[in-house]
């Protein structure tokens, strides 16, 4: 990978270079070379936003990716029109990272740029102009010429104009000087649209005017004045209750948020009257969206095994860039992270801790906040765009030297990372599926660390086979902790045989006797229970008992999922929904039943089995809004829920002391993924769920219901024989050419017409056969779901030799092939999606 950059010099300042490569938001996989006009030369820096002409008509904003002295071969470089920023928006390390990401994940650098910048900072793809609201023709100091007048007139009718619009209006090609003059005359705003997407949060605050706040008699006079005006009196009293103005004049200066002051239903118009009469004044105050919490605790003293692990990690870091920390659930990995983070921060470097999507709203963040307080930024995908811009700016300004974030936080403008930690590094959700860049945050973080000369710590109780493989090969340092922190013991497993119970008539509402007994025992002792049901491939659906009809999505080849709560059937791919019919649309029968079992149905069974227990359910449905997930966890943590039923979400790093029983409702479902990673995933999932049980002094109990309790995988999980399991699986991976022994690339061919899609997929195969690289090409096969959103899909899987630069050669050729295919008229509207390292 290094070779990509061998020739690139990432100069921060330009000294006499004549050309700049610009990253533009266009779907073409490269940067574009422009000429740097002499006037701009001393100013230009990598990472600045610039304006350039693109093609004949368009004017675009882009980012300077590189400056150099090589004129382009195929065309004459146009000049850069202007530079937008005094300071770069993006630093050279980020650009280097983008370049790598586009090359490695086979996408356009413009797409990486799009993913990297929060939309509040993003460049609009086409530059627009708008009227400057402060401009007044009557009072302006500057006379306008005819052409300028014309533009302004047009802006009276249309709130914004593109460069093209302006060209049309004036009938000239060189519009830039005119617009520049209008900007100088403060008549229009250009490109401001982009920046205005970010709006600081402003509060209106109210305080007593100086005259009143400094004189008791003046205040008394005010009270006399409002006697008999209860509304005004009420506001005044409420204000003084919160702000004892004579004891604490500072409080009055800070004022009170207007919304809070009026929150108990006081009238806004009465407040206005008080302001008009000179009692109160209002003022604007910019507030941070992100709470400034203070650190409230020291890091814990590490236990001796934690301390050993801590030292081992540091020793490995002396010679290795990456270390895998393999610590069983509850071994106290977070506390080790905390110590490492503190050390790196003290040395003046930045730290990024990556967490899987959902874990980010939970306990671990509040644990870290307690230690790091306001030095720590949190970057969450459920944040509003404005909140994200604040984290971005916080990193730029140095307010945050430590960030905890989801996968997209690798794009934040760090300039001196010392350490990247990827917690739960095995989590599939680190991979971005759609849209491009289809990156894996763990792997990208490793690359980012390389650019920063930083270290990477990968933590997990069930490492991904990729990372474990790297550790066994000596590429990564390896540190293991194989017992839990404190007195907590590993949980005890029970395999409950569904078929045996059925034969003995012991099955009740899909629960085995073992499951019921363990749950009852926990409830009797006021302990809590988690019930897990795998989401994937297991959704309830409606079926006609007479003719077998099932509801199908009208746009995708999938069954609709039944949602009991809304009495609806929904498509999980495209969101299509319809009401459950009264009778079968095919045969008219009214015998429609629910098949499959989702969390909703399990919750129902459990409430029938344990009518006294307080139930909770956590899945996509109950956590859709920003706080849904957090609220459920808070309730569970506060002991207001006895049994919590959930999908994958309940497994992510939860640490609740009172959970003593974990039930896996359908263990077989976990085993049956149609994927070479099935075994690895199943092992990880069961171990992670089980890891929520018995994390304090009471030993946890894990019940797995299954029809094949003799399955070897269960046995390996129960014994914790991760290494044995890994070795067996590796044997198959090697034999059948799967990662980590090969590199995988998946190519999906899509088209609305079934025949075109098929033809294009086959054409691609013929072309790929000519690539001279050690490879195996599989397919094309109809996608697991043949049609999504009315597009037919064909999938090809390519297995590439890991050695040399096979992957690079393959991608280079693939780019040419796709370009050629796309230029054929018959395939013009075919879409090819390339996924490197699919998961
Ligand atoms: P893991 O992330 O490895 O599953 P955690 O970091 O969540 O484990 O630790 C498990 C529990 O043990 C947590 O409640 C944590 O607060 C506690 N713990 C871990 N290390 C210490 C320590 N050194 N001192 C006190 N409590 C600790
Ligand atoms: Zn029917
Ligand atoms: Zn659909």
- Cα 543 to ligand 2 centroid, rounded to whole Å: 8
Among all bound ligands, the one having the nearest atom to the CA of 548 is: 2
Q: Give the model's confidence band at 653: pLDDT under 50 very low, under 70 low, under 90 confident, else very high.
A: low
- Tell me: pLDDT of 731 over 50: yes
Report the residue among 307, 328, 335 best suited for mutation to probe ligand 1: largest number of ligand atoms under 8 A from its CB.
335
- Name the residue with the closest Cα to ligand 1, atom 23: 302
- Tell me: pLDDT of 670 over 90: no
Dihedral in degrees, nearest 10, Cα atoms 427, 433, 437, 440: 20
- Cα 595 to ligand 2 centroid, rounded to whole Å: 14
- Tell me, what's the pLDDT at 536? 52
Mean residue pLDDT of the chain comes to 86
Structure tokens, 360: 């980010």
Backbone angles phi, psi at 682, to 5 degrees: -65, -45
Range with lowest mean pLDDT among 237-241, 277-281, 619-623, 632-636: 619-623
Nearest alpha carbon to residue 113 among 80, 65, 155, 161: 65
Backbone angles phi, psi at 444, to 5 degrees: -65, -35
Nearest alpha carbon to residue 699 among 526, 514, 524, 484: 484
Neighbours of 12 (CB within 10 A): 11
Q: Pick the more confident residue, 194 or 591.
A: 591
Ligand 1 atom closest to Cα of residue 329: 4
CA distance 596 to 598: 7
Nearest alpha carbon to residue 610 among 689, 515, 504, 692: 515
- Cα 431 to ligand 1 centroid, rounded to whole Å: 27
- CA-derived radius of gyration, the chain: 31
Q: What's 640-694 look like in SS3?
A: CCCEEEECHHHHCCCCCCCEEEEEECCHHHHHCCCCCCHHHHHHHHHHHHHCCCC
- Cα 15 to ligand 3 centroid, rounded to whole Å: 55
Identify the H or E element spanning 505. Answer: none
Model confidence pLDDT, tens digit, residues 64-98: 999 999 998 888 899 998 887 777 889 999 999 99
Ligand 1 atom closest to Cα of residue 691: 4
Whether the CB-CB separation of 299 and 338 falls below 8 Å is answered with yes
Ligand 1 atom closest to Cα of residue 302: 23
Structure tokens, 12: 């921060």
- Tell me: pLDDT of 191 over 80: no
Structure tokens, 97: 């990272």
Model confidence pLDDT, tens digit, residues 484-541: 888 788 899 999 998 899 889 999 988 999 999 999 999 999 999 999 998 754 467 7
Backbone angles phi, psi at 544, to 5 degrees: -85, 125
Model confidence pLDDT, tens digit, residues 120-178: 665 544 567 778 777 777 777 778 888 888 998 888 888 788 877 888 888 876 677 78
Beta bridge partners of 448: none
- Tell me, what's the pLDDT at 512? 96
Ligand 1 atom closest to Cα of residue 301: 23
- Cα 827 to ligand 2 centroid, rounded to whole Å: 41
Among all bound ligands, the one having the nearest atom to the CA of 687 is: 1
Q: Pick the more confident residue, 748 or 87.
A: 748
Ligand 1 atom closest to Cα of residue 423: 2
User: For the whole model, what pTM was predicted?
Assistant: 0.76
Residue with tokens 């590439």: 800
Range with lowest mean pLDDT among 190-194, 197-201, 475-479: 190-194
- Name the residue with the closest Cα to ligand 1, atom 19: 332
- Tell me, what's the pLDDT at 263? 78
Residue with tokens 């230009």: 44
- Tell me: pLDDT of 672 over 80: no
**DSSP-derived secondary structure letter, 294:** P
- Tell me, what's the pLDDT at 8? 41
Backbone angles phi, psi at 585, to 5 degrees: -65, -20
Structure tokens, 53: 């002409």
- Name the residue with the closest Cα to ligand 1, atom 25: 300
- Cα 566 to ligand 3 centroid, rounded to whole Å: 18
Among all bound ligands, the one having the nearest atom to the CA of 787 is: 3
Longest dimension (CA), the chain: 96
CA distance 309 to 312: 5
Structure tokens, 293: 């919490």
- Name the residue with the closest Cα to ligand 1, atom 13: 332
- Name the residue with the closest Cα to ligand 1, atom 4: 330
Nearest alpha carbon to residue 49 among 63, 28, 31: 63
Q: Give the model's confidence band at 387: pLDDT under 50 very low, under 70 low, under 90 confident, else very high.
A: confident
Instruction: Enumerate residues lining ligand 1, CB below 6 A.
Output: 300-303, 306, 327, 329-335, 485, 655
The stretches of 262-332 forming alpha helices (DSSP H) are 268-276, 304-319
Among all bound ligands, the one having the nearest atom to the CA of 557 is: 3
CA distance 44 to 88: 9
Among all bound ligands, the one having the nearest atom to the CA of 576 is: 3
- Name the residue with the closest Cα to ligand 1, atom 5: 332
Among all bound ligands, the one having the nearest atom to the CA of 554 is: 3
Report the residue among 334, 422, 491 best suited for mutation to probe ligand 1: largest number of ligand atoms under 8 A from its CB.
334
Ligand 1 atom closest to Cα of residue 306: 23
Range with lowest mean pLDDT among 1-5, 136-140, 684-688: 1-5
Query: Which residues, other chains included, contact 395 with Cβ-Cβ below 8 Å and sequence gap of 6+?
Result: 350, 377, 403, 412, 413, 414
Q: What average pLDDT score do residues 293-302 get?
A: 79
CA distance 306 to 328: 12
């Amino acid at each position: 990978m290094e070779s990509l950059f061998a020739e690139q010099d990432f100069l921060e300042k330009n000294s006499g270079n004549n050309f700049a490569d610009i990253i533009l938001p266009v779907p073409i996989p490269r940067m574009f070379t422009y000429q740097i006009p002499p006037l701009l030369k001393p100013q230009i820096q990598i990472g600045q936003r610039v304006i350039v002409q693109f093609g004949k008509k368009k004017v675009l904003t882009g980012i300077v990716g590189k400056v150099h002295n090589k004129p382009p071969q195929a065309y004459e470089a146009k000049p850069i029109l202007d530079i937008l920023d005094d300071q770069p928006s993006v630093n050279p390390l980020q650009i280097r990272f983008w370049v790598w990401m586009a090359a490695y994940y086979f996408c356009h650098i413009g797409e990486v740029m799009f993913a990297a910048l929060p939309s509040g900072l993003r460049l609009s793809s086409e530059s627009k102009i708008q009227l400057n609201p402060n401009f007044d023709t009557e009072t302006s100091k500057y006379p306008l010429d005819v052409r300028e007048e014309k533009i302004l007139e047009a802006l009276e009718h249309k709130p914004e104009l593109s460069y093209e619009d302006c060209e049309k209006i004036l009938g000239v090609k060189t519009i830039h000087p005119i617009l520049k003059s209008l900007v100088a005359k403060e008549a229009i705003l250009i490109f401001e649209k982009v920046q205005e997407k970010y709006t600081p949060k402003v509060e209106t605050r109210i305080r007593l005017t100086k005259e009143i706040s400094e004189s008791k008699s003046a205040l008394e006079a005010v009270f006399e004045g409002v006697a008999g005006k209860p509304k005004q009196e009420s506001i005044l009293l409420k204000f003084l209750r919160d702000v004892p103005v004579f004891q604490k004049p500072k409080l009055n200066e800070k004022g009170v948020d207007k919304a809070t002051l009026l929150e108990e239903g006081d009238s806004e118009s009465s407040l206005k009257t008080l302001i008009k009469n000179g009692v109160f004044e209002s003022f604007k105050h910019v507030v941070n969206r992100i709470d400034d919490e203070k650190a409230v605790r020291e890091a814990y003293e590490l236990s001796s095994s934690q301390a050993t692990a801590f030292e081992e990690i540091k020793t490995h870091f002396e010679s290795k860039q990456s270390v895998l920390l393999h610590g069983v659930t509850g071994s106290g990995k977070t506390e080790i992270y905390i110590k490492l983070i503190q050390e790196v921060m003290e040395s003046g470097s930045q730290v990024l801790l990556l967490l899987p999507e959902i874990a980010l709203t939970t306990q671990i963040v509040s644990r870290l906040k307690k230690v790091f307080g306001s030095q720590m930024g949190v970057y969450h995908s459920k944040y509003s765009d404005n909140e994200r811009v604040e984290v971005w700016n916080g990193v730029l300004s140095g307010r945050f030297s430590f960030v905890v974030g989801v996968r997209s936080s690798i794009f934040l403008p760090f300039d001196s990372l010392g350490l990247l930690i990827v917690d739960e590094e095995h989590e599939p959700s680190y991979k971005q599926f759609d849209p491009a860049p289809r990156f894996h945050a763990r792997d990208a973080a490793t690359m980012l660390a390389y650019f920063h000369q930083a270290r990477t710590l990968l933590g997990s109780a069930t490492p991904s086979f990729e990372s474990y493989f790297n550790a066994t090969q000596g590429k990564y340092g390896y540190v293991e902790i194989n017992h839990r922190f404190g007195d907590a013991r590993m949980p005890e497993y029970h395999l409950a045989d569904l078929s045996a119970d059925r034969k003995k008539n012991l099955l009740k509402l899909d629960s085995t006797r073992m499951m019921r007994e363990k749950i009852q025992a926990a409830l009797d002792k006021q302990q809590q229970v988690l019930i897990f049901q795998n989401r994937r491939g297991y959704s309830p659906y409606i079926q006609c008992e007479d003719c077998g009809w099932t509801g199908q999505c009208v746009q995708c080849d999938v069954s609709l999922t039944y949602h009991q709560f809304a009495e609806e059937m929904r498509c999980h791919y495209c969101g299509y929904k319809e009401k459950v019919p009264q009778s079968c649309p095919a045969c008219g029968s009214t015998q429609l039943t629910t098949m499959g079992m989702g969390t909703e149905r399990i919750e129902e069974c459990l409430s029938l089995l344990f009518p006294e227990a307080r139930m909770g359910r956590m899945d996509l449905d109950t956590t859709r809004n920003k706080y849904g997930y957090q609220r459920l966890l808070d309730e569970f943590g506060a002991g207001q829920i006895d049994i919590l039923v959930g999908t994958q979400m309940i497994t992510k790093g939860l640490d609740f002391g009172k959970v003593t029983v974990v039930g896996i409702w359908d263990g077989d479902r976990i085993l049956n993924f149609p994927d070479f990673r099935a075994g690895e995933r199943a092992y990880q999932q069961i171990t992670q769920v089980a890891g929520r049980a018995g994390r304090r002094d009471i030993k946890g109990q894990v019940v797995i219901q299954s029809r094949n309790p003799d399955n070897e995988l269960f046995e390996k999980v129960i014994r914790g024989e991760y290494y044995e399991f890994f070795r067996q699986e590796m044997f198959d991976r090697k034999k059948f050419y799967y990662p980590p022994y090969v590199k995988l690339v998946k190519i999906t061919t899509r088209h609305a017409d079934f025949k075109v899609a098929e033809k294009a997929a086959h054409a691609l195969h013929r072309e790929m056969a000519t690539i001279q690289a050690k490879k195996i090409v599989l397919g094309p096969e109809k996608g697991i779901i043949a049609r999504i959103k009315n597009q037919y899909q064909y999938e090809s899987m390519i297995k590439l030799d890991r050695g040399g630069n096979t992957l690079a050669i393959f991608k280079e050729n693939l780019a040419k092939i796709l370009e050629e295919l796309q230029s054929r008229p018959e395939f013009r509207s075919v879409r090819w999606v390339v996924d490197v390292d699919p998961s």
